[in-house]
Amino acid sequence: MAWFPVLSSLPAPVRWAAPPAVLLGGLGLLIGGWTGSSDRIAPPVPKASQAGFCAALGKALPQSVLGHRRADPSPASPYTAAWSSLPRTVLRCGVPRPEYLNKDMAALAPEINDVQWGMGSDGAGGYRFVTTLRKVYVEVTVPKGAYPNYADPLSSLTDAIKATIPDGL
């Protein structure tokens, strides 16, 4: 092996530490991949009239949703939040009106804690919910299998939404 002579020319403590360091580095990369730390979520760009509502919502959101701790996505943004279910449940504030609300009246889901939601597929077996009848559209993506009932996390988020995003269109 071409690299073996190079390794044998290093001092003994370096040679002894090299294999464990390589193994620990590999383990770190493996664990980082499992936790979804590499997930990149494009933050929305709300209109100027909506940005203040979204920033207030970001501060009011809970630190955990049904036992899943908050683990915000990268890049950091006041308009996105996530909770560490695998894959993650993601909230984005200030998204454009989803097209499925224009086409399918069946997309309107029931009201939960005085917040009306629209519902569509996320394309991977999960669901994408969006608030309706509010000054800002708030989208929550719930991945397949993250919760026993796909709509479970919505009830944990409605108090913050009601407190920060006013009714109206």
Residue-range definition of the domain harbouring residue 11: 4-34
Q: Write down the pLDDT at residue 15.
A: 57
**Considering the domain boundaries, does residue 14 fall inside one?**
yes
Q: Is 109 among the domain residues?
A: yes
- Three-class DSSP category at 104: coil
Q: Which residue has the higher pLDDT, 106 or 160?
A: 160
CA-CA distance, 61 to 117, in Å (whole number)?
A: 17
Q: Indicate if 92 and 160 belong to the same structural domain.
A: yes
Torsion of CA 159, 93, 103, 143, to 10 degrees: -80
Q: Do residues 101 and 22 share a domain?
A: no
Residues 90, 62 share a domain = yes
Judgement on whether residues 103 and 130 belong to the same structural domain of the protein: yes
pLDDT for residue 32: 42
Q: Is residue 86 part of a domain?
A: yes
| 163 pLDDT higher than 80 | yes
Q: Are 54 and 136 in contact (CB under 8 A)?
A: yes
- Does one domain contain both 98 and 160? yes
How much is the average pLDDT of 114-139?
Answer: 94
Residue 52 and residue 22 share a domain: no
Residue 79 resides in a domain: yes
Q: How many structural domains comprise the chain?
A: 2
Residue 125 pLDDT more than 90? yes
Q: What is the CATH number of the domain that holds 102?
A: 3.40.1000
Q: Quote the pTM value.
A: 0.74
* Statement to judge: residues 27 and 67 lie in one domain: no
Encode burial over 16-45: b for 16+ CB neighbours within 10 A, e otherwise. Answer: eeeeeeeeeeeeeeeeeeeeeeeeebebbe
The verdict on 52 and 29 lying in the same domain is: no
Residue range 5-28: mean pLDDT, rounded: 55
Query: Is position 42 within any domain?
Result: no
The answer as to whether 116 is a domain residue is yes
Mean pLDDT, the chain, rounded, equals: 82
pLDDT tens digits, residue range 18-42?
555 455 544 444 444 444 444 678 8
User: Does residue 132 share a domain with residue 156?
Assistant: yes
Q: What is the 8-class DSSP label of residue 107?
A: G
Q: Could you tell me if 20 and 96 lie in one domain?
A: no
pLDDT tens-digit series, residues 60-89: 999 999 999 999 988 899 999 999 867 899
